[in-house]
Structure 1
Amino acid sequence: MAAHLVLCAVAMCLAGGMLALLCGRSPARAAAVATLALGLAAIPGVGAAWLGLQGQAAVPVHWPWQVPGGALVLQVDALSSVFLLAIFLVAPLCALYGSAYLKAQDRRRALGVHWFFFCALTACLALVVTAAHVLMFLAAWELMSITSFFLVAHDQQKPEVRHAAWLYLLACHLGAAVVFGLLLYAAEVSGSLHFQEFYALGALEPRAAALVFLAALIGFGTKAGLAPLHVWLPEAHPAAPSHVSALMSALMVKTGLYGIVRVLTWLPAPPPWWGLLLAGIGVGGALYAIAMAALQSDVKRCLAYSTIENVGIIGLGLGLGLYASALGQPLMAALGFAGALLHVWNHALFKALLFLGAGSLLHATGTCNLNRLGGLLKAMPVTGVLLIGGSLAAAALPPLNGFFGEWLIYLGLLQAALALPGGGALPPLLLVGLLALTGALALLVFVRLIGIALLGTPRSAAAAAAHDGRGALLVAPALLLLGCLVLGLAPAGALDLLSAPVSLLCRTDVHSLPFPSHYAWPGFGGLLLMMSVVAAALVLLWLRRRRPCAADATWGCGFTRPSARMSYSAMGFAELAQNRVLPSFLRPEGAVQAPQDLFAPGQSLHLTPRDPVLARLFQPLFAFLGERCVRLRWLQQGKPAIYLAYIFLTGAALMLWSLWALGGG
């Protein structure tokens, strides 16, 4: 039943995309058709996820496919349902927002192609997390990369957008090559291309199982944005339209995490070092990414690095679960896996909210540069409140949803430190400290974002003339903020839904453990208490606004004519952390124009934050490989006879190899 519902949802997405393509000359009609189709597809999609989370038996459903060796096989189990629910809840809201966002941005542009790729990407996301056959999975994975490439390249007339799109496509195919090899190896070991037969990998010897695990981290981790394989993400997200950035950051990167956890279910019981490796990569990447976010002046680039941070936190939770499982600690494993899976939902909601909020800033002011914003809370009060709510969630502050997933991971780490004897308690305690430092930097990042963008005085004429959007520009992020509040105030229901996938990852029934009721936020009484506190705070703020007060200029430190240029810049706000907390290799490069004589008109300082992984590792590596590959251009003679000779020689070599292999058998 669940698989048929998924197929229905996918068909509706694709039908909506095709109709939008036919309506391409009418942007409003194309947007309306695509948004309606995704909204309708959410009904069977959410229904399928709900059935899967209830622990229904995951029965694969087959349809005929004429591709040699291929099969259309869908399977909805508890694990795929976690990601399926996020896809069909968030994607329609991103489309709803995008219909109004592009209407203002591209009044004279045919948008049928854009909405076709948007609907196709949503369908591919659903197929990736439900495909149960190698060829179907690889086809959906590749189509997901291609459709998202065209969405990133929406503004292809800009050189920086083309560069970001090609970097993204390159990273996708490098990761896909590893995924391709991993799945083919699994098919060879199991003797089948069906995922249900891949549980034969559980009999692998430790060295082979470790190689499969490492291949999954590299191949799927590239799509997920796990550091140091994250280099495409800070380039692609700022280049894409805001609703596309929201879809990719909230949902698409999660398919990489899904691939990792799916492979883990096929492999034998993990040794402890698997968990420590994944936890170390996760917390190290989270700390690195949030430090880079503190140095960005572009709002969307800052949010892109925050996505890498949150992917790292999810990786930390998964690593904790693996480590505890290897040590025979089911409660700690359940806390780690539950925190990671709950944070998948949490991040999908608040990161989509933040990217849509950044789109509203761009829509109102024409820029996402923090140094060109300021004073927007008064000019855009609704958007400002939505951004503040998303920032509280991203900084993991209660009562928003970002808090509870990380709290479970903290509890799991502390339980591990208390339960493990001797030196075994050191790694969890170290991870607690690193996660706490990550949280402190996240708080700095979002205080900086809100303070510079929303408070103070406008730093440009566009910021001074800004105003709130209307309709879908406010409705879609408001619904996402409502979801953040619901998950933050009543997480016990979400934990009950996650019991089936957590049991699958723990390889034990978590209902036999004091979980989740003993670790959930207080029940209905606590919910009423939190709602009362929030309501009282809102009433006090409303009463305070009604008090008459005299308006006057902000104190300007003794200057008689203060201006916005005297306020903190985005880089200046983070200067203390940059110089006293962050290591030197993360500090931005500076260009100083000093005065040339005694009466020079002025001087300037320009700081450029660069990602050292991209600038010092991948760019030199790609340049080196590019120089070597140029030497092979002599093979491209441009003559058909030469190419026919290549084909003949390749075919002959394959035939000889086949004969040799058959003879050896």
Structure 2
Amino acid sequence: MNGAGELLGPGPLLVSASLLAAVSGLPLFLGLAPPRAGQRLATLMMLLAALTGIGGAAQAIGTGRSAAFTLSWGLPFGAAEFAVDPLTAFFALPVLFIAACCSLYALDYWSAADHPRTVRRLTLFFGLAVAAMLWVVMARNGVLFLIAWEIMALTIYFALTAEDAKPAVREAGTLYLITTHIGTLALFALFALLAGTHGSFLFPAPASLRLAGAPAAALFLAALVGFGIKSGLMPLHVWLPSAHANAPSHVSAIMSGVLLKIGIYGIVRVLSFFAVIPLWWGILLLVTGMISGVAGVAFAIGQHDLKRLLAYHSIENIGIIAIGLGVATIGLAAGSPTVAVLGIAGALLHVLNHATFKSLLFLGAGSVIHATGSREIDLLGGLLKRMPATAGLFFVGAVAICGLPPLNGFISELLIYLGIFREVSGGSGAAAAFTALAAPALALVGGLAVACFVKVCGVVFLGVARSPRAEQAHEAGWPMLAPMGLLALVCAVIGVAPVVVAPLLANVLGSWRPEVAGPAAELGGHAPLMALTVAALALLILVALLLLFFARKTRGSRPATSVTWGCGYLRPTPRMQYSASSFAEMLVGLFSGLLRPHGKTPVINGLAPAPARFASHVPETVLELLYLPLFAKANEKLAPIRKLQHGQLHLYILYTFITLVTLLIIGML
């Protein structure tokens, strides 16, 4: 490997981190260590990889420098170039940090003693997936990128399907594998077109690709489809809810917190190539983001499965990131660097914020599942008394994902709002008109997110237990609580001290496109970050004083205990509580045209009616009502073509010969 930089520079450190992650599961998988010791060794190696890689990423972001290096390979696709710049380092940070938290969490959640059949495979592919994600963000050659991309896709598949004895897990894995390879086909088209227009598989330097018209549009649309499938943009999201719901919870955390952001990285990197960006690109990103944000949170409200609900919130937050990217792209097209800086700063900061609070929420959900054995919200309840630490940390994640101060989700959404307001007040024409629609859409997303998490926190943690397993729930151990506490701390630090994050973010923005480098350095002047820090500290001090006052007032008194108030009923039961369905019924009804809910309403007649039961279900509308019927129709129409598949080798050789001759004739024309 030809290196540029010192042994302890960003490039060597991140490469070392990726190699440590890749081999972390090998001792356990090969049986070189006992299961328990092998799992602990894998966790230790992942923690070491995280420390090494975060050190390298921090150097790259702090100094604003880039390091490039080349691998020796014999493939005829140009140099196998890797590079680490501040943008790469920024996306590497959540990969490493979340991987370390999830690896430590797995010691208790997916222990070798409780999962002897799957722990070897899961630990191996978890480490390989982390390494592959680092290779993807470091790759600077299209073919090298695709190789790393495919390794990432396959290792995530094997981690996702750890419990492959369950039919639902197998179905989720199959759907994921099909959709991810459809996205990969789009990326094949992207890099083939890029090589044809740019003359090389190497990535163009920022703002150096001077393309316009159909070639540029084809590149952008191929990138949007290929990376949009991976990131879960609607309506390309169909793999995401079932995959996140059926994976082990720490795998769900890294999929939602990190894997989706690799798709966002691809879109951001491709946008950096072009010297001139058309306005309609920004409008398309903005509209796609609004659809994903509003529809994602609407589907989340109707869910009864805790992890599936969180999965739809991932789609919602990817929509918020896409809105930020749309605002930034509109700013570039309209010649407004300040708008572009606020949009891209909000989008990238939300990448980091969503990685932390969504991983926290999935790990919190995993703690609940570990204690109760159920993902069904209506079978839980009363867990605040039995799992106070998990409940408190889950509440932190809920406040953050709702975009409420003083946590980190508020800061990134505020930057996007400021970019929207700046474009609406200073812009004109279609740019200002479409951007104006984003503000109410973002506000609607925030309001619906609050309603959804009031439902989740109320039904899961408050009230009384709805099942024997919930009544016997226990608190998680320290290997599960410590990563959750660390993630909650990061949510609080970014939310309370955004003024500290701004200078680091400026270097990342400057490496994205040269025209935003100047305004990016003044990010603190475009947003009231210092005022937000002061306000957040004042709010925390006020809350601390109120808690202290309450503690002094109640000191020495014995709190009375009673059953939850039951509206005057003398013998209340858990069935009298609000369920997930009843709490969300009005909002699901408002969005019924989109959600297409199914319900079984009981008929109650007479003075002594028979026992009755109400049930409701929100289907995977896009998959079940759009894609599956479309594919069934295509399968019917294309059935005659299957006759070409005879299973005879000489006929397949003939097909290959005819194809090659046809391509040679086309090439000579």
TM range (shorter): over 0.9
* Aligned 8 A contact 2:10 2:84 in 1: yes
Distance in structure 1 (CA, Å) of the matches to 2:225 and 2:546: 47
Helix, strand or coil at the partner of 1:23:
coil
Q: In the alignment, which residue of structure 1 is the partner of 2:573?
A: 563
CA gap of 1:157–1:427, structure 2 versus 1, over 3 A, is: same
1:233-632 alignment to 2 at 5 Å? 233-421=240-428, 425-512=432-519, 514-522=522-530, 525-526=534-535, 528-540=537-549, 542-543=551-552, 546=555, 547-579=557-589, 581-594=590-603, 600-632=609-641
* Aligned 8 A contact 2:249 2:362 in 1: yes
Cα deviation digits, residues 538-595 of structure 1 (max 9, x gap)? 434544664423222333222221101001000100112222x324231411124536
1:646 to 644, 652, 655: 652
Pair 1:80 & 2:88 matched: yes
Distance in structure 2 (CA, Å) of the matches to 1:582 and 1:221: 24
Distance in structure 2 (CA, Å) of the matches to 1:595 and 1:530: 51
**Deviation of 1:656 (Å):** 5.6
* Aligned 8 A contact 2:496 2:537 in 1: no
Distance in structure 2 (CA, Å) of the matches to 1:400 and 1:371: 29
Distance in structure 1 (CA, Å) of the matches to 2:83 and 2:167: 42
Distance in structure 1 (CA, Å) of the matches to 2:371 and 2:117: 20
CA gap of 1:282–1:210, structure 2 versus 1, over 3 A, is: same
* Aligned 8 A contact 1:38 1:91 in 2: yes
CA gap of 1:425–1:309, structure 2 versus 1, over 3 A, is: same
Helix, strand or coil at the partner of 1:265:
helix
Helix, strand or coil at the partner of 2:529:
coil
CA gap of 1:543–1:427, structure 2 versus 1, over 3 A, is: farther
Could you tell me which amino acid in structure 2 is paired with residue 157 of structure 1? A
**Deviation of 1:362 (Å):** 0.1
Cα deviation digits, residues 160-181 of structure 1 (max 9, x gap)? 1111110011110001100111
CA gap of 1:659–1:3, structure 2 versus 1, over 3 A, is: farther
CA gap of 1:375–1:58, structure 2 versus 1, over 3 A, is: same
Count residues in correspondence: 658
* Aligned 8 A contact 1:594 1:604 in 2: no
CA gap of 1:423–1:626, structure 2 versus 1, over 3 A, is: closer
Distance in structure 2 (CA, Å) of the matches to 1:629 and 1:365: 47
* Aligned 8 A contact 1:489 1:530 in 2: no
* Aligned 8 A contact 2:597 2:618 in 1: yes
**Deviation of 1:423 (Å):** 7.2
Q: In the alignment, which residue of structure 2 is the partner of 1:658?
A: 664
* Aligned 8 A contact 2:23 2:128 in 1: no
Same amino acid, percent of matched pairs: 39
Distance in structure 2 (CA, Å) of the matches to 1:468 and 1:293: 26
Structure 2 spans left out of the alignment, 5+ residues: 1-8
Helix, strand or coil at the partner of 2:523:
coil
Q: In the alignment, which residue of structure 1 is the partner of 2:6?
A: none
Q: In the alignment, which residue of structure 2 is the partner of 1:205?
A: 212
Distance in structure 1 (CA, Å) of the matches to 2:315 and 2:150: 22
* Aligned 8 A contact 2:78 2:202 in 1: no
Question: TM-score normalized by structure 2?
Answer: 0.94
**Deviation of 1:459 (Å):** 0.7
| Greater displacement, 10-19 / 346-355 | 10-19
Q: In the alignment, which residue of structure 2 is the partner of 1:161?
A: 169
Could you tell me which amino acid in structure 2 is paired with residue 290 of structure 1? V
Distance in structure 2 (CA, Å) of the matches to 1:660 and 1:174: 26
**Deviation of 1:597 (Å):** 8.1
Helix, strand or coil at the partner of 2:361:
helix
Could you tell me which amino acid in structure 1 is paired with residue 541 of structure 2? S
Distance in structure 2 (CA, Å) of the matches to 1:165 and 1:496: 41
**Deviation of 1:420 (Å):** 2.2
Helix, strand or coil at the partner of 2:614:
strand
**Deviation of 1:401 (Å):** 0.6
Distance in structure 1 (CA, Å) of the matches to 2:78 and 2:213: 30
**Deviation of 1:190 (Å):** 1.5
| Greater displacement, 345-354 / 598-607 | 598-607
Distance in structure 1 (CA, Å) of the matches to 2:77 and 2:431: 48
* Aligned 8 A contact 2:206 2:512 in 1: no
1:95-174 alignment to 2 at 5 Å? 95-103=103-111, 106-174=114-182
Q: In the alignment, which residue of structure 2 is the partner of 1:231?
A: 238
Could you tell me which amino acid in structure 1 is paired with residue 564 of structure 2? T
* Aligned 8 A contact 2:339 2:423 in 1: yes
* Aligned 8 A contact 1:30 1:115 in 2: no
Distance in structure 2 (CA, Å) of the matches to 1:659 and 1:452: 67
* Aligned 8 A contact 2:227 2:267 in 1: yes
1:11-22 alignment to 2 at 5 Å? 11-22=19-30
* Aligned 8 A contact 2:153 2:180 in 1: yes
**Deviation of 1:412 (Å):** 1.1
* Aligned 8 A contact 2:288 2:322 in 1: yes
Question: TM-score normalized by structure 1?
Answer: 0.94
CA gap of 1:24–1:465, structure 2 versus 1, over 3 A, is: farther
Distance in structure 1 (CA, Å) of the matches to 2:552 and 2:247: 41
* Aligned 8 A contact 2:161 2:247 in 1: yes
CA gap of 1:584–1:658, structure 2 versus 1, over 3 A, is: closer
Helix, strand or coil at the partner of 1:195:
coil
How large is the RMSD of aligned CA atoms in angstroms?
2.2
Distance in structure 2 (CA, Å) of the matches to 1:105 and 1:396: 39
CA gap of 1:544–1:383, structure 2 versus 1, over 3 A, is: farther
Pair 1:636 & 2:642 matched: no
